[in-house]
Amino acid sequence: MAVTPHASAPRPALRQGYRTSWVAHLTPRPDAEIRLFCFGAAGAGASVWRHLAAHVSTRVEVVPVQLPGREARRREPFVTDVHELVDQLAAAIEPLLDRPFALMGHSLGGLIAYELASELSRFGQAPERLIVLGTPAPHLPRSRPSVHDRGEQALRDYLERMSGTPGAVLETTWLFNMYAPLLRADLKAFETYVHGKQAPLPCPITCWGGDDDPHVGLELLEPWEQHTNDEIELDLWRGNHFFTKGRDAELGQRLSAML
């Protein structure tokens, strides 16, 4: 993959009419100084970021990334390998890297954002910052049993422990059956991920977690410091694994100050 540095000739951009299925719920800001690509947790679509743009500085263009198999792309096959997904992503968003950018991801989305940052950095196009939310450091072994290949009750128990799935999905059989294949696919991507021992990133990393997250505690967040040659910011928010849910205003304020 060839990636063009910021200083070279401009490439096609969103404000010039570029369209891709990988971006959804976009609020275009042609004069923004930085783009923030956002990746959701397992089972989530780009719509989880749809309100964030209203709460960040106008200097930031929020770019919610839509992965295959969900929302408007629900008829497309799932991609259950993080590295394969990043290969597709890097090619898809290359025309949008005509200005400084940052990458932010929650849980599985944090792993995807990290691998994308590593891939782009290899070609001289590092992000200004990587922001990971509730994501274990990528080199750590997965300590809990896998869920993606277990029965329905195990999947339901997992969702209840994580406290991020609407009650209607858990209580309505047809909704649960519709949602389960997507969640299993994303959990497979997360649970079978293997770190490739990439070089530390040349950009700073912001690492946020929930102080009541049952699965991702400080011991899994602090080792992110091994993955940057720059500074790292580590902070715990009040809440569980989905600590930013319903807090777009606070998230937007902190992102605006940072970016």
Write out the catalytic residue numbers.
107
C-alpha distances in Å from residue 98, one per residue of 3, 8, 94: 10, 9, 8
Can you tell me the distance from the alpha carbon of 97 to that of 108, in angstroms, rounded to the nearest whole number? 22
Q: Rounded to 5 degrees, what angle do the CA atoms 158, 161, 166 make?
A: 85
Judge contact between 138 and 114, C-beta under 8 A. yes
- The strands making up 60-64's β-sheet, listed across from edge to edge, are 60-64, 34-39, 101-106, 130-133, 205-210, 232-237
Total residue length of the chain: 259
Residue 216 and residue 240 in contact, taking contact as beta carbons nearer than 8 Å? no
3-class DSSP assignment, residue 142 = coil
Return the SS3 of 249.
helix
d(CA 192, CA 188): 6
Query: Which residues are registered as beta bridge partners of 64?
Result: 38
Instruction: List the beta strands (DSSP E) in the chain.
Output: 34-39, 60-64, 101-106, 130-133, 205-210, 232-237
